[in-house]
Amino acid sequence: MSLEKAEIFLKHGVDNNDFSNVLEVLCSVCRAKVLILSGEMTKALLREGPVSRPFDDISYLGMHIESLDDDIVPAMVSLLRGMPNLKTLYIKSDPSLFIHKPEACGFNKEFWKSQNLAFIGQLKEATMELSNGNNELELARYMLEDAKNLKEMVFTLFTPAINSYSSGK
């Protein structure tokens, strides 16, 4: 019997040194079919360097992040490189944490294309609930144009004006 689902969330404000073995923890669940990570986990992976371990069994990746800013994209790419059989990608940012970050615009569609991500040919579903910057739009454009087996894509972009209006402010 193997692990079906692993959820790994790190909390804000925790000392960075407390998670020096993040890659080891991630590798311990590499046989899971479903992997759900927090943005803090992804950033901790970035601090440890490229993820070289393949995650061939993972078919669903969920990421809960503040935003797809320029700091998190390299870690995300490193992780996605090791998931050639990924069929479902779910990325959710928390619009309540919206802070204007102008650095969320450095990775265009050509960047994503140049990464030669093997999962793109397998991807069938993508859901992106995001709140900031052009990186989200560029990733969505890349998936729409290059994911030949993509059957469904849901893209929700929250903006401060919409959030203020819908919350009655």
Residue 141 maps to a domain:
yes
Structural domain harbouring 154? 5-9+21-166
Q: How far is CA 130 from the centre of its chain?
A: 11
Checking if the pLDDT of 97 tops 70, the result is no
Residue 16 maps to a domain:
no
Residue 15 maps to a domain:
no
Please compute Rg for the chain using Cα positions. Answer: 16
The three-state DSSP-derived secondary structure of the chain is CCCCEEEECCCCCCCHHHHCCHHHHHHCCCCCCEEEEEHHHHHHHHHHCCCCCCCCCCCEEEEEECCCCCCCHHHHHHHHHCCCCCCEEEEEECHHHCCCCCCCCCCCHHHHHHCCCHHHHCCCEEEEEECCCCHHHHHHHHHHHHCCCCCEEEEEECCHHHHHHHCCC
Residue 72 maps to a domain:
yes
**Residue that wins the pLDDT comparison between 112 and 28:** 112
Are 122 and 150 in contact by the 8 Å Cβ rule? The answer is: no
Residue 37 maps to a domain:
yes
Are 44 and 22 in contact by the 8 Å Cβ rule? The answer is: yes
Give the sign of the dihedral formed by CA 106, CA 112, CA 117, CA 123: positive
Question: How much is the mean pLDDT over the chain?
Answer: 79
Q: Residue 84's pLDDT is what?
A: 93
Residue 25 maps to a domain:
yes
Checking if the pLDDT of 44 tops 50, the result is yes
Q: In one letter, which amino acid is 125?
A: E
70: domain CATH number?
Answer: 3.80.10
**Residue that wins the pLDDT comparison between 100 and 42:** 42
Total tally of structural domains belonging to the chain? 1
pTM across the whole model:
0.81
Residue 14 maps to a domain:
no
Q: Which residues, in sequence order, are CB contacts of 162 under 8 Å at separation 6+?
A: none
Q: Residue 104's pLDDT is what?
A: 56
Residue 111 maps to a domain:
yes
